Chain A
Amino acid sequence: NAGVTQTPKFQVLKTGQSMTLQCAQDMNHEYMSWYRQDPGMGLRLIHYSVGAGITDQGEVPNGYNVSRSTTEDFPLRLLSAAPSQTSVYFCASSPGLSADTQYFGPGTRLTVL
Chain B
Amino acid sequence: GNSVTQMEGPVTLSEEAFLTINCTYTATGYPSLFWYVQYPGEGLQLLLKATKADDKGSNKGFEATYRKETTSFHLEKGSVQVSDSAVYFCALSDLGAGSYQLTFGKGTKLSVIP
| A interface residues, Cβ below 8 angstroms from B | 4, 31, 33, 35, 40-45, 48, 50, 56, 58-59, 90, 92, 97-107
Write out the residue numbers on chain B whose beta carbons fall within 8 Å of the beta carbon of A42.
89, 104-107
Write out the residue numbers on chain A whose beta carbons fall within 8 Å of the beta carbon of B95.
98-100
> B43 and A104: CB pair below 8 A?
yes
Write out the residue numbers on chain A whose beta carbons fall within 8 Å of the beta carbon of B45.
104
> A48 and B43: CB pair below 8 A?
no
Known pairs A31-B100, A45-B101; A99 contacts B93 (CB<8 A): yes
> B100 and A48: CB pair below 8 A?
yes
A-B contact pairs, 6 of them (CB 8 A): A35-B104, A40-B106, A42-B89, A101-B49, A102-B46, A104-B44
B24 at the interface (CB under 8 A from A): no
> B43 and A106: CB pair below 8 A?
yes
Write out the residue numbers on chain B whose beta carbons fall within 8 Å of the beta carbon of A40.
106
Q: How many Å lie between the Cα of A43 and that of B101 in the bound state? A: 11
Known pairs A99-B93, A100-B93; A106 contacts B102 (CB<8 A): no
- A22 nearest CB across to chain B (Å): 15
- A109 nearest CB across to chain B (Å): 10
